[in-house]
Amino acid sequence: MNIAVCLKLVPATTADIKVAPDGKSLQLSGVEMVVNPYDEYALEAALRAREASAGSKIEALAVGGDDASAKCLVHAFAVGADTAVHVKDATLDSRGAAKAAAAVFKASKPDVIFCGRQAIDDDQWLFPGYLGELLGLPHASAVSNIVIAPDGQSATCKRRFEDGEQTLTVALPAVISIDKGVGEPRSPTLKGRLDAKKKQAVVKTPAELGVAGADAQAALSIQQYAPPPQKTPGKVITTVPAEAAAELVKLLRNEAKII
């Protein structure tokens, strides 16, 4: 079985991200960048799928600048990916990245493509759906458990909801975006890190994959970024209970305007 997994580099959740002076971009210089957490679950799903099917291979793919290869694909190699493709372009949005990935996978023809449920930087949930449509493949989203049939022709997927769980069967090949639940993402071993240094990703540009001109232009235009409004400082009422209750009612009515 040929297995593919898509990875993206995103700012760490603990990073202090500021809006650039132009108001249309973010200041990411010096910000810690990490593999998108949901993509780590997708990578874990790919590793487990390979373990369940002898002779399977994993192809990792990342779209982005040099740091995307240096972090995403080196990490993928370190935990066991067999091959990798780096589409070298830091400007492609979700649509452009999906078109580049689709061009790669049309050539390699994976039996299943794993993606993270969403990227935590923009939270758009667009890439897996775009990719499935471009490849003409079924797409199951936010899958928390997956079992691929022994014959490799289908996969049973479970999706969690607030009130329960949905089970569906997807014909393969397919694009499957992964949520938490498939298992804790594994960390590289020392041997894995040393092996990763011996492997090299295949580097492609969007133009080499046929993604140029209008296809490479962003589908979404950012008009302005703005930090959230500052929260109004809270008030502490320190009077005796009877007076405090009256003061609280007054504040809720006149300032908060919720009663």
Q: Which residue has better confidence, 199 or 234?
A: 199
Percent of the chain clearing pLDDT 70 (strictly above): 100
Q: State the average pLDDT for the chain.
A: 92
Amino acid 184: pLDDT: 94
Q: Which residue has better confidence, 132 or 16?
A: 132
- Chain region(s) in the chain for CATH 3.40.50.620: 2-216
Amino acid 85: pLDDT: 97
Amino acid 70: pLDDT: 84
Q: At what angle do helices 127-135 and 94-108 cross, to 10 degrees?
A: 40
Residues 42-60 have a mean pLDDT of 95
* pLDDT band for position 26 (cuts 50, 70, 90): confident
- C-alpha to C-alpha distance for 83 and 197, rounded to whole angstroms: 13
**Minimal CA–CA distance to 158: which of 142, 171, 173, 174?**
142
List the single range of 95-99, 169-173, 200-204, 227-231 with lowest mean pLDDT.
Answer: 227-231
3-state secondary structure of 174: strand
Per the structure block, which two tokens stand in for 73? 């694909």
Q: What is the pTM of this model?
A: 0.84
Residues 187-211 have a mean pLDDT of 94
Half-sphere exposure of 252 (CA within 13 A, CB side): 9
Amino acid 224: pLDDT: 87
Q: State how far Cα 246 lies from the chain centre.
A: 50
Q: Which residue has better confidence, 205 or 30?
A: 205
3-state secondary structure of 4: strand
* pLDDT band for position 202 (cuts 50, 70, 90): very high
Per the structure block, which two tokens stand in for 89? 């372009």
Residues 72-97 have a mean pLDDT of 94
Q: Indicate whether 207 pLDDT > 90.
A: yes
Amino acid 83: pLDDT: 96
CATH of 2-216, one of 3.40.50.620, 3.40.1160.10, 3.30.420.40, 1.10.600.10: 3.40.50.620
- C-alpha to C-alpha distance for 55 and 25, rounded to whole angstroms: 45
- C-alpha to C-alpha distance for 216 and 237, rounded to whole angstroms: 57
